[in-house]
Structure 1
Amino acid sequence: MNGFLAYSLGLGMTDELLSLFQDDMLFSEQIPNEHYGDDVNGEPEYVDTAEFVMPGKVALDRMRILGYQVNEPRIALDDAIKGKLRTSKRLRLELAGDPEVEGELDAEIELLTGLTAEKWLDRVVEYGLPVGRLERREDAASHGSWPYLELVSGWPVRAILTILLEAFPSAEVRLDLTEAVLNGEVWEDLDTLCSNALKRLRFFGGADAPVIVLTEGKMDAQALSDGISILYPHLVDVVKFMDYLQKPDGGAGPLVTFVKAFAAAGVANRVVAIFDNDAAAAEALLSLRVESLPSNIRILTYPYLELFSSYPTLGPPVGADEEAELVLANIHGRAASIELYLGRDVLAGDDGTLVPVQWKSYMHKVRRYQGEVVGKGDLQKRWKEKVAARRSSSSMIDGYDWDGIAKIIESIIGASVEERLTFDLYPQDPEKYWD
C-alpha cells in the first residue's frame, strides 16, 4: 500500500484477501529478475509480474458492499491501545530493576497514555508509511510510525487495510503475487483468481447462514413456520420463510419467478423452493431449468401421503339436473395444496368425513386436471385453532395429527443438508435462468 507492505503472503493467500480485488484489476509487466537471474537454475533474466491494483476508495467500497463493517477497526484499535497500556504497566512493575527494560516500557507507557484511535490516525498521517517491510525491531524503531503500526500488525488483512485507508484514503492498494507465481504457489488461472475466491466465500459462507424457504403463498409459509416451532423448535433460528407481509403474488408461477431471481442474484444462502403437489405447480415447473440452478438452490414439491392415493373428489355433474358425484381419486400431482397436509383432524368434519377436492380446470401442458380442496378458509381457521391449542398445552402433541406437516419439514431439512458435490468455479450467465 503506497509501497508499504501491510500484509505478507507468508500469512496466507486467503480468499478474504483475493476477493477484495476483481479479475480485471490484474496488472503485468516485464521486469529484470533480481531474485532469479540467468546464473541461478537457468531462470530467465526477465519475469512477468502479477499484481492486482486498485485505488483505496475502491477497496473501501468493495469491503463495505461485501459486508465488512468499516467502523469496527476504530473500536478495535481503541481496545488494543487500552490492552497494550495495561500490559505495559503490569510488565513495568514485574520487571522493575532492569534499567534497559524499564526505559523501553516507560517510553511505551508514555506513548500509549491518552492515545486514541483518532490520535493514532493523526500520528500515522504525520509520520507517513515506511517503504517496504519493517522486518527487525531495531530497523523499525528508526521510523516514527513504527510504534503505532505495531498495534495493528497482527490484525486480519481487511482490518489493517480499513484503518490505513482511513488515514490515507488516496493510497493505492497492490496485491503482488509475482513471487508466489514464480514459486508455483498459485495453481489457479490468474484471469479468474479473484472471482473464484469470491465464489468460494459465498459457497462455503452459506453453510452457517439460515436456510431460506420459498413457498407459493402466505398460508404455506405460516403453516410450515408453525410446524417447525412445534415439531422442530431447535431449528426456528436457522430456517427462515419468505416474508409475506408485503403480500407478493402467490402461486406456482410467481414462485418460479422468485427462484429465477434468487439464482440470477447469486444469493449465498441455501434456498429451498417448495411447490404444491398439484397440476398447476407441475405446469409452472416446466419453465424452470432445474438442472441449471446453482447447487445451493433446491426445488421440491410437497411429499407423498398415503391419504392422497384415494381421496374424496367432486367432479362435474354428468347431466344438467344431477349433483356432482363424490369419487375417490388419486390427487397426487393434481390437488395437494398445503391445506391437505394440515392433518386428518383438520380435514375431517364432525362425522369423520374428509373435506373433498373440487376438480377445476384442465392443464393441457401436463395433461391433468387441477383440483382445489373445498372450504380452504375453514381449514385454515381449524389449523390456527389446532396450533393455539397445542401451544397452550405441550402435552397435547400426541393428540393431533402432524404427519403431513412433519413430512414436508423433513423434506426441507433433507434438501438443506444434502452434500453439494460440485462447485462451479466459472462465472455463469444470469440470463440462462430465464426463458
Structure 2
Amino acid sequence: MGSYCEIYFDRTEVCGAKSVVPDHFCALFQESDRVVRPSRDEDEESPEVVYEAPRAVVLSRLDLLGCTTTVARERLEAWLATTRETWDEYCADGDWAEKTTTALRSFSVEDWYRRAPEVLATLYTREEATDEIDRHMRDRDGEGWLWFDGYGSLMSLRALLDACAEVQCVTLDVTALIGGGWIEPGAKICDEKRASAPLDPRPLATTVILAEGSSDIRILQRSLAGLFPELQDYFSFFNHAELSVDGGAAYLVKFLKAFAAARAPLRLVAVFDNDTAGRQAHRQANTLGLPDNMVAVTLPDTELARSYPTIGPQGEHVVDVNGKAASIELYLGRASLMAGSGFRRVRWSGFNSTAQAYQGEIEGKAEVEASFLRAVANCSSPAEARAAFPELVEVWTMIFSAVEKAAEVAERKLHGRVA
C-alpha cells in the first residue's frame, strides 16, 4: 500500500507522492513553516505534521525559483501547441482521434485557467465529465491536461495557484509518511533537503549573496531575517570572516571572475555599494560576460540620499550622494543615521580619477550598524521592520527581482533543452 504526502490548497487535495517528500514539494516551504497540531480525526491519537504557508508567500518563493506567472503561462501555451500538433497527427491516422482533436482546437489557455479551479475542487469527488475537455483535464491515469508540465511539477502548481485566486493557504501534509515510518517524527525535512543539495541549482539550492565586505553581509543577512523571514531559507551568504577573505569592490569583481571561470553551478547575486567605487566595479562586472546564474547589482538610489549632508575641503553641503557615497549604512533607517540633532555626515575622502568622481563615506559606520542591529532585533513583526527600514525594503525588492529574472531565463533555457 505505502504512505503518501500531499499538497493542499486550503482543504482541497492537489497532488501527492508515495513514500518520500519530493524535492520540488520541499522547495515551496522552509522549516519555520512546520506545524504540529492535534489530528482532525477523533480516532487518531498521532498529531498532524504539516508545512503551511500563505498564498502570497508561496507565490514569492515560486518567483524566486523562476516559476513566475509569465513563464507558467508560456509553458502552458507551448504545451497546448505541441499537444494540438500531436493529436492532429493522430487524427490523420484514423477517426479514433477526431473527438480529442476537435476539443483541442477549441481549447485555449484562457479555458484552462477558467476550468482549472472547478476541476481541481472536484477531481476526487466527481467522475462524470461535462465534455471532452473536462474529461481530459480530469484524467488522473494518463497525460491529463490539468498537469501540463508534469504531475505535481512546480510550474503546474504555479499555474494552478494563479487560476485558484480564492486559495488562502498552501499545505504540505507529511503526517502519513511519519506514521508509516518513512520519516522520523522530528526530522527537519526542508532543512535536510536543502543541506543535501547545496550546489544543485534546481530547485532546493539557495541563492548565494556576495557583497563588498563582512559588514555588508551581516546587515543583509539580519535584514532579510527581520524584514522577509518567509524567504530567508532561499538565500545564503558569502562569509568573509570565516577564512579572513579580503573585501572591497575590486575583490568582489575578482570573486565573480573566479566563480564564472570555474563554471560554478550555484545561483549568486553580487551586491555592490551605490558609491563611486561600487559603481565603477559594477561596470567592470557587467563586462565579464557572466553566466545566467550569476547577477551583479548595485544598491538602488533612494530619496533619502538625494538630499544628504556632507563635509569636505570646501565645507558642509547638502547634496545627492547616490552613486558617490551610498554605502549600505545609508539604507539602515533614519533613526540609525542620527547623531545628536541631525544625520551623520558623509565625508568626502578622495577623487577617483578613473570614474572622474569623488568617493565619500558615512561617519561612524560601526555605530550606524550597531544601532540598526539593535533596532531590527526589537521589531515585533516583519511588517514593523519593513515600515522602519524602507530603504532596505528597496534593496531586497531589487535583489528579489534580479533573482526572479535570472531564474526565469534559466527555466526558459531548461525547457528549451528538454522540450
Q: For the superposition of Structure 1 and Structure 2, which TM-score range results when normalised by the shorter chain?
A: 0.3 to 0.5
Q: Which has the higher contact order (CA 8 A, sep 6+)?
A: 2
Larger Rg: 1
TM norm structure 2: 0.48
Tell me the TM-score normalized by structure 1.
0.46
> Higher strand fraction: Structure 1 or Structure 2?
2
